[in-house]
Chains A and B, each alone.
Chain A
Amino acid sequence: MRSAFSKDFWRSISHSWGRFLAIAAIVALGAGFYAGLRMTAPDMELAADAYYDGTDLYDIRVLSTMGLTDDDIAALEKIEGVGGVMGAYQVDAMSLMGGEQVTVRIHSLDIDAARVSDTSDGLNAVSDDSDYLNRPLLVEGTWPTEPDECVVSADAVMATPLKVGDTIELSEGSQDFDDTLVSKTYTITGFVRASYYMSSGSLGTTSLGSGALAQYMYVPTSSFKADQPYTEAYVAVAGAKDEFASGEGYAERVAAVLTRIEDAAPSLEARRLDEVKREAQDELDKNREEYERERADAQTQLDEAKQKLDDAKQELDAAKETLDATPSQLDGAAATIESSEQRISSGQAEYDAGVAELANQRTEAQGRFDAAQAEIDEQQAQLDTAQATLSRLEPQLEAAKQQLAGMQPTDPGYGELAAQVAALEENVEKIKTALAGGIPALEQARSELAAAKDTAEKQFAAAQARLDQAAAELSDGRAQLEQGRAQLASGQQDYENGKQSYEEGLGEYEDGLAEYQSQKAEAEEKFADAEKEIDDAQAEIDDIEAPEIYVMDRTKNVGAESFKSDAQRVDQIAQVFPFIFFLVAALVALTTMTRMVEDERVLIGTFKALGYSRARISMKYLAYAGIASGTGALVGILALSQLLPAVIMNAYGIIYTVPVAPTPIDPVFAAISAGLGIGVTLAATAAAAVATLREQPATLMLPRAPKAGKRILLERIGPLWRRMSFSWKVTFRNIFRYKKRFFMTLIGIAGCTALLLTGLGLSDAINDIITKQFGQIYQYNTTIGLSDDPTDDDMGKVRSAIDDKNAIEAYTYADTTSMTASAPGEKDQSVHVIVPEDPEAFQSFVTMRERVGHVPLELSGEAVLVSEKIATELGLQVGDPITLSKQDAIGNTTDEGYTVTVTGIMENYVSQYVFMTPELYERVSGEAPEFTTIFAKASSDPAVRSGLSDELLSIESVRTVGYNDETIDSYEKMLGSVNSIVVVLVVAAAALAFVVLYNLTNINITERQREIATLKVLGFTTREVDAYIFREIMLLTVIGCLAGLVFGVFMENFVVVTAEVDQVMFGREIHAMSFVIAFLLTIAFAVLVALAMRRKLAKIDMVESLKSIE
C-alpha cells in the first residue's frame, strides 16, 4: 500500500493543477527556448554537413596562376590522404539571360558522371565516381549533352524567371572567349542546385560588371576548348566525409592534406614552369630559325640589287664620256654651216639682184612693148571704131540712101536726110581713107613690134637661163646647207637625247641607289628589331617566374563560410537570449513554491509534529517542483527543439538553399537545458522551503501572522499622499508590501515587453535597410558600368542615350573599384571604393551623412568617408588610418596599397563603401581615376527603362545596366523570412507575460482570500473588488512595461548587431511605433489575464474564506 505521505503528495499535485502547470509552463518555455536555440546552430551545421557529404563538395581547392595540367592532377592524386581529384574549368562572363544583363560564372561539368548520378532525393547526388566532385543536384529538366547546352541555378533570383529552352548569350568574359569556350550561345536544359553555392543571394565576386555574380551555370567539359590547362583542381580528402563538416576532426584531416599539397606545390610549380618555359623556348627557337632564313634571303636580294646598280653605274659612266665629247663636234659642224650659210646668202643676194634686174628690164621692155601695143591697139581700136562706124554708117547710109531714094525731095526731112546722107557719105569716105592708110601702117607697126619683142624675148630668155642656173646652184647649195643643218640638228638632238637619257639614267640610278640604301637601312632596322624582339622574348622566357599555386579549403567558399558564420550568430544569440526565461522561471518557481509552502504551513507543522523529518517533508516539495519542472522541460524541449530550429532554418532558407533541415534532439543540450530548468526550480523551491522547515511545529500550526503593514516611502510625501484616493493608497501599500512579487511581476513584464520590442525592432531594422538605403541614401536608381577603355564613338552613343531627359533625369560619373580595406589588427574587409568625378554633384546621388543626427558629411579635398559598418568592423574612428589595396579575381590583395585617413563615418546599410575625391585618389594611388561608372536617376516607367537598357547594352563599351529595384526585391524577401522570427518572439513574449501574470495574480488572490472575502462582506461590488486587485497588477504592468522598453532597447541592439550578416548593416533605430506597440501589447496581455482572473475573484466564497479555524 502506498504510504499516506506519498498519497498526500500525489493529491497535492492533482488538487493544485494551476500551480503545477505554472511551474511546468515557465520551465517549458525556458528550457525549450534554450534547448531549441542552442540546437539550431548545430542543426544548421548538420544540414550543411549532410548537404556537403551528399553532393561531394570539395574539401580543398587548388588554383594555379598558370593553370593545372593533367600531370598536375595526377600528381595531386598521388598525395597521401587525397581521395578524389577533379580538374575543372571556370570562366566568368557577362551574359544576356531572359532579357537581363547578368554576370555569370561558368563551370565545366562532367556530363557523363552527372547523368549517371542519382539526385532524385533532392539532397544527395549518388555516384560511384570518386573524382566527380561538387555534384550539382538536378532540380528540373535534364543534364546538358551538347557543348552549347547548359544548366543554371534553380535558386538565383532573376527578374524574369528562366525556363528550359531559353538561350543565354555571352558577351564579355574575364578571359577572351575565343580562346576559352567553343560557343557563346547556350540553351538551358535544366536547373540545378549546387552545394558549391550555398548562398543563393551572394555567389561571389567577379571582376566583371557590378562586381557581384548573379548566376552560375554548368556546361559540358567539351564546351571548353581542349588545348587549355584546367583553371583549378578540386580535391576530396579521404575520410573527410565521415567527419562532421564543422568539427575539429574534419579541420584536422583537411589541414593535414592541405599542408601536404602545399609542400608538393613547389615541385608542381617548378615542373609547370619548366613546361611553360620549354614550350615558349621551342616556339622562340623556331621563330629564330625562320628569322635567320628570311634574313639570309633578304640579304641575297639586297646584294643582287647592289650588283645591278653597280653595272648600271658603269654604263652610265661610259655614256657620260661619250656625251662629254659631243659638244665640240657639234660646234665644228655648226661653224661650217654658218660659213656655208653666209656664202649662200651672198649668192642669193646676187641672184636676187640679177632677178630684180631682169625683172626691171622685162618690165621696162614690156612697158615699151605695152605702150607700143597700146598704140597699136589704139590704132586698131580707132580703125576698128572706124570700121565699126563704117559698118554702121554704111548700112545707115544705105538705109538713108534708100530712104532718100525713097523719098522725094519734097518730103519733110528730105533735106536733112539728104544732109545726113551727105554727111554720112562724107564720113564714110573719111573713114575709108583713114582705113586705107591706117591699116597698112598698123601692120607695119605690128610687125615691128613683134620683131622687137622677139629680140627682147631672146635676150631675156638668155638672161633668165643664166639666172636659173644660178638659182639651181643656189638651191643645191641650200639643200646641202639644209642637209648639213638637219644633220647638225639631229646631231644636237641626239646629243640632247643622249644627255637626257643619261640624266634620266643617272637619276634612276641615284633613285635606285637611294632606294637600295633605304631598303637596306630598313632591312637592317627590321633585322635589328627582330633580333631585339627575339632577345626580349628570350629574356622574358628567362624571366618567367614559377606559377603560384593557391591551396584553399572550404573557408574560402563564400556560401559555406557565410552559412557557418550565420550559424555562429544564431549560437551567440542562443547563448544569451534564453536566460531571460530562466530568470523568470526561477522567480516564478520561487514565488509559487513559497506560496505552496505557505499554504501548507499548518500541514508541514503537523507532519513535523507527527515526526516526519525535515528531509522527508522537503522531499515532497522538491519532488513536486521536480516533477513539474521535469514535465515542463520535457515538453518544452521536445516541442521547441523541433520548432525553433525549423523556423530559423526556414527563415535562413530564403538566403541559403540547403535541401534539408534536420532537427535531431541533441542529448547534451537537452540535458543541459533540462538540468538548468529543473535545477533552477529546485533551487528556488529549496530556498522557499528552507526557512519554513526550520520553524517549530507549534509555530507552524498557528496561522502565520500576516505580514505587518508598514508605512511606505510614498506616505512621507504628505501632499501627494493626502491627495491620493483611498484605493490608490491601498494599491501602493500592497505593492511595496510584497516585494518579491513586485520584482517578479516587474521582471516578467519587462521581459515580455523587451521581447516584443526586440521582435518589432528587428523588423524595423530590416525594413529600414530598404527605406533608408534605397529611399534616403541612394538617390540614384540606376548604375551603368562601362568597360575600361570606351571608344569615343561609343561614348558619344552613351551620352546621347543618357542625355535623353525622358529616360534619365540626371547622371554623374564615378570610378568604382572593389578593393580590400584593412586596419591594423583587424580582419580584411572587401569594400567598394568610389571616386566621383564631381564630388559636389555626387551628393545629390548619394546622401552622405552621419547616422546619428543626420549631420551632413562633406566630400572635398582630403575627405575620406567610410560606411559605418566598415568603420565598426575595422574599429575605425574619424582620424584613424585605413589601408586600401587592390584585389585580384579571387579576392587576394595584390599590392601594398595606400593609406588614407578617415574623415567621416557615413550612414549606410547595404554594401561597404569608401568615398574619396579624385585629387586625393590620384595623389595617393599614383593613378588617375577612370570614370567608367555612371550613377543615374532613371524614369520609373518600365517601358522607358527597358528601352534605355536595350539602347545602352547594344553599345559595345557598355558592360552593365543595373536597376536598384532588383536589389530591393531580394531584401524584401529577406524581410519576409525575418517576419517568421518576429512572430516567434511575439508568441514567446505573450506566453511569458501570461504565465507570469497568471501565476502572480493567482498567488495574489489566493493569499489574500480573506481580505477579498471581507471586502465582499463589506459590500464591495464585483467591479470594486476586481479593481482593488487589478489596480495593483496594472500599475505593476505599466512600470514593468517601461522598464522593459529600456531593457528591450539593449536586447534589440544585441540581437541586431549579432545577427547582422556581412556586407549589410541593419537599421539601428527602433521606430517610435514599435515602442508604442510593445507597450500596448503588453498591457493588452495584462488585461487579458485580468479578465481571466475575474472568475476566480468572483468564485471566492465569503463564507468559505472567512471560516474560522475551529
Chain B
Amino acid sequence: MAFVEFRDVRKTYRMGEVEVAAVDGMTFDIEEGELVVVVGPSGAGKTTLLNMLGGMDSCTSGTIVLDGREVNSFDARELTYYRRYDIGFVFQFYNLVQNLTALENVELASQICKDPLDAADVLGQVGLGHRLDNFPAQLSGGEQQRVAIARALAKNPKLLLCDEPTGALDYQTGKAILKLLQDTSRVMGRTVVLITHNQAFTAIADRVIHVREGRAAGVEVNERPVSAETIEW
C-alpha cells in the first residue's frame, strides 16, 4: 500500500446546467519520503488535486488514502483534525497573518499540533533565526515564504503540500525555496508534494505526476533527481 493513494478520484462542479469536471478520474500513488512534483497546464486540476489531498475540498467520487486512512470519507471534524495533524500547506501567496511576527506565525500552527517542532528551531532551520520578531511586512517575499514553510513544517505533518510556492518569487529566491523543500524531503525524510506549471521543476522530483484535463496523464518515477540549485529556467 502506497503512502498516498488516489483511486479514480473525480471532482465535478455544477454551474447551473453545466457540469464541469475539474478532476476527472485521477489515479496515482505516492510513496513516503518522496518529493513529488505535479505539473500541468493552467486549469488542469492540479490545485484541485492538492486541495483534495490536503482535506480542503471533497471529491465527488473515488478514494483518497493517506497512510492507510480514507480521507474522502472524513466528515468536517475529521477533516479539520486531518489538516491539523497530518498536513502542512504552503501557498503561493504565503498567507501569513500580518499581525503576527514570524515566530508567532509559526507558533500559530505549532500551538495546535500534537507533536510540533519548536517554532524558533524550525525558523532557524529555514534560515530565519535572526528574524523571529519581524512582522511579515518587514520581510521580503522569500523570507515570507520561508516563514510559511516553517509554519507548515513546525506542524510535523505527514505530508507537506505546496501550491506554486515559487510563483510570487524571483528566480534566485525561488531556487532557494526549492532547495529548502528538497532538503525537507531528502534530509528530513518528509513526503513533499509540489504543484507547478513549470516543467523545469520536474528534474528535482522523485516522482512526477503529469496532470492534464483532470486526469493523471502520466506518472514517472525519477531515478536520479537533481539538486534544486542546478536547475535553470
Residues on A lying within 8 angstroms of B by beta carbon are 705-710, 726, 729-730, 733-734, 737, 1010-1011, 1013-1022, 1024, 1102-1103, 1106, 1108-1110
A residues near B96, Cβ cutoff 8 Å: 1014
Q: How far is the CA of A57 from the CA of B76 in the complex (A)?
A: 76
Q: A1010 and B95: CB pair below 8 A?
A: yes
Q: B77 and A1021: CB pair below 8 A?
A: yes
Q: How far is the CA of A1019 from the CA of B161 in the complex (A)?
A: 14
What is the total of A-B residue contacts with beta carbons within 8 Å? Answer: 93
Q: A1108 and B56: CB pair below 8 A?
A: no
Q: How far is the CA of A733 from the CA of B105 in the complex (A)?
A: 13
| B167: contacting residue among A734, A1017, A1108, CB under 8 A | A1108
Q: A737 and B112: CB pair below 8 A?
A: no
Q: A1019 and B95: CB pair below 8 A?
A: no
A residues near B93, Cβ cutoff 8 Å: 1106, 1108-1109
A712 CB to nearest chain B CB (Å): 10
B64 CB to nearest chain A CB (Å): 15
B residues near A707, Cβ cutoff 8 Å: 98
Q: A1017 and B135: CB pair below 8 A?
A: no
A residues near B42, Cβ cutoff 8 Å: 1110
Known: A1103-B57, A1108-B91. A1018 touches B84 (CB 8 A): yes
Q: How far is the CA of A726 from the CA of B112 in the complex (A)?
A: 11
Q: A1019 and B135: CB pair below 8 A?
A: no
Q: A1022 and B80: CB pair below 8 A?
A: yes
Q: Nearest chain-A residue to B56 (Cβ)? A: A1102
Give me 18 A-to-B residue pairs in the complex whose CB atoms sit less than 8 angstroms apart, sorted by A's number: A706-B137, A708-B137, A726-B111, A730-B100, A733-B99, A1010-B95, A1011-B97, A1014-B95, A1017-B83, A1018-B83, A1018-B89, A1019-B81, A1019-B87, A1020-B112, A1021-B81, A1022-B80, A1102-B56, A1106-B95
- C-beta contact mask, B132-168 vs A, less than 8 Å → 1, else 0? 0001111000000000000100010000000110010
A residues near B101, Cβ cutoff 8 Å: 709
Q: Nearest chain-A residue to B161 (Cβ)? A: A1017
Q: A1019 and B84: CB pair below 8 A?
A: yes
Q: How far is the CA of A705 from the CA of B56 in the complex (A)?
A: 26
| A708: contacting residue among B54, B81, B98, CB under 8 A | B98
B222 at the A interface (CB under 8 A):
no
Q: Which of B63-119 contact A (CB under 8 A)?
A: 76-77, 80-85, 87, 89, 91-93, 95-101, 104, 107-109, 111-113
> Which of the listed residues A1016, A1020, A1106 has the most CB atoms from chain B within 10 Å of its own CB?
A1106
A200 CB to nearest chain B CB (Å): 63
B residues near A705, Cβ cutoff 8 Å: 137
Q: How far is the CA of A379 from the CA of B48 in the complex (A)?
A: 217
A1027 CB to nearest chain B CB (Å): 12
Q: B137 and A1020: CB pair below 8 A?
A: no
A540 CB to nearest chain B CB (Å): 98
B61 at the A interface (CB under 8 A):
no
Q: How far is the CA of A1019 from the CA of B98 in the complex (A)?
A: 19
Q: B89 and A1017: CB pair below 8 A?
A: yes
Q: How far is the CA of A1109 from the CA of B95 in the complex (A)?
A: 13
Known: A1019-B85, A1019-B87, A1021-B80. 10 other contacts (CB 8 A): A726-B111, A730-B99, A1011-B95, A1017-B83, A1017-B95, A1019-B82, A1019-B155, A1102-B57, A1106-B91, A1108-B163
Q: B167 and A706: CB pair below 8 A?
A: no
B51 at the A interface (CB under 8 A):
yes
Q: How far is the CA of A762 from the CA of B93 in the complex (A)?
A: 56
Known: A729-B104, A1017-B56, A1108-B92. A709 touches B80 (CB 8 A): no
Q: Nearest chain-B residue to A729 (Cβ)? A: B104
B76 CB to nearest chain A CB (Å): 8
A958 CB to nearest chain B CB (Å): 81
Known: A1103-B51, A1106-B91. A737 touches B80 (CB 8 A): no
A1101 CB to nearest chain B CB (Å): 8
Q: How far is the CA of A729 from the CA of B98 in the complex (A)?
A: 13
B residues near A709, Cβ cutoff 8 Å: 98-101, 135-137
| A1020: contacting residue among B80, B91, B98, CB under 8 A | B80
A residues near B87, Cβ cutoff 8 Å: 1019
Q: B54 and A734: CB pair below 8 A?
A: no
B residues near A1022, Cβ cutoff 8 Å: 76, 80
| B164: contacting residue among A1010, A1017, A1108, CB under 8 A | A1108
Q: Nearest chain-B residue to A1098 (Cβ)? A: B76
| B109: contacting residue among A1010, A1011, A1018, A1108, CB under 8 A | A1018
Interface size class of B (residues with CB under 8 A): 35 or more
Q: How far is the CA of A730 from the CA of B111 in the complex (A)?
A: 13
Q: How far is the CA of A1109 from the CA of B91 in the complex (A)?
A: 12
Q: A1014 and B97: CB pair below 8 A?
A: yes
| A733: contacting residue among B77, B100, B109, B113, CB under 8 A | B100
A residues near B104, Cβ cutoff 8 Å: 726, 729-730
> Which of the listed residues A710, A1010, A1017, A1106 has the most CB atoms from chain B within 10 Å of its own CB?
A1017
B residues near A1020, Cβ cutoff 8 Å: 80, 84, 112
Q: How far is the CA of A733 from the CA of B82 in the complex (A)?
A: 29
Known: A707-B98, A709-B135, A1011-B97. A1017 touches B92 (CB 8 A): no
Q: How far is the CA of A1020 from the CA of B56 in the complex (A)?
A: 12
A598 CB to nearest chain B CB (Å): 15
B50 CB to nearest chain A CB (Å): 10
Q: Nearest chain-B residue to A1107 (Cβ)? A: B47
B150 CB to nearest chain A CB (Å): 13
Q: How far is the CA of A709 from the CA of B101 in the complex (A)?
A: 8
Q: How far is the CA of A1108 from the CA of B135 in the complex (A)?
A: 22
Q: How far is the CA of A228 from the CA of B139 in the complex (A)?
A: 104
Q: How far is the CA of A1110 from the CA of B44 in the complex (A)?
A: 14
Q: Nearest chain-B residue to A708 (Cβ)? A: B137
A1032 CB to nearest chain B CB (Å): 11
Q: Nearest chain-A residue to B157 (Cβ)? A: A1019
Q: Nearest chain-B residue to A1020 (Cβ)? A: B112
| B99: contacting residue among A734, A1018, A1019, CB under 8 A | A734
Q: A708 and B107: CB pair below 8 A?
A: no
Q: How far is the CA of A960 from the CA of B47 in the complex (A)?
A: 94
Known: A726-B108, A1019-B87, A1108-B164. A710 touches B95 (CB 8 A): no
A residues near B163, Cβ cutoff 8 Å: 1108
A residues near B111, Cβ cutoff 8 Å: 726
A921 CB to nearest chain B CB (Å): 75
Q: A730 and B80: CB pair below 8 A?
A: no
Q: A1024 and B95: CB pair below 8 A?
A: no
A1104 CB to nearest chain B CB (Å): 10
Q: How far is the CA of A846 from the CA of B23 in the complex (A)?
A: 89
B residues near A734, Cβ cutoff 8 Å: 99
Q: How far is the CA of A43 from the CA of B197 in the complex (A)?
A: 73
| A1017: contacting residue among B54, B76, B136, CB under 8 A | B54
Q: How far is the CA of A1024 from the CA of B80 in the complex (A)?
A: 11
Q: A1018 and B167: CB pair below 8 A?
A: no
Q: Nearest chain-A residue to B82 (Cβ)? A: A1019
> Which of the listed residues B91, B155, B163 has the most CB atoms from chain A within 10 Å of its own CB?
B91
| A1019: contacting residue among B80, B92, B137, B164, CB under 8 A | B80
Q: How far is the CA of A733 from the CA of B99 in the complex (A)?
A: 6
Q: Nearest chain-A residue to B50 (Cβ)? A: A1103
Q: Nearest chain-A residue to B95 (Cβ)? A: A1014
A1031 CB to nearest chain B CB (Å): 13
Q: B135 and A708: CB pair below 8 A?
A: yes
B42 CB to nearest chain A CB (Å): 7
List 10 tightest A-B contacts by C-beta distance, closest first: A1019-B84, A708-B137, A709-B135, A1019-B83, A709-B99, A1014-B95, A1102-B56, A733-B99, A706-B98, A1108-B92
| B107: contacting residue among A726, A1011, A1017, A1024, CB under 8 A | A726
B residues near A737, Cβ cutoff 8 Å: 99
Q: A1018 and B164: CB pair below 8 A?
A: no
Q: How far is the CA of A706 from the CA of B87 in the complex (A)?
A: 27
Q: B97 and A730: CB pair below 8 A?
A: yes
A1009 CB to nearest chain B CB (Å): 11
A residues near B164, Cβ cutoff 8 Å: 1108
> Which of the listed residues B82, B135, B138 has the most CB atoms from chain A within 10 Å of its own CB?
B135
Q: Nearest chain-B residue to A1110 (Cβ)? A: B42
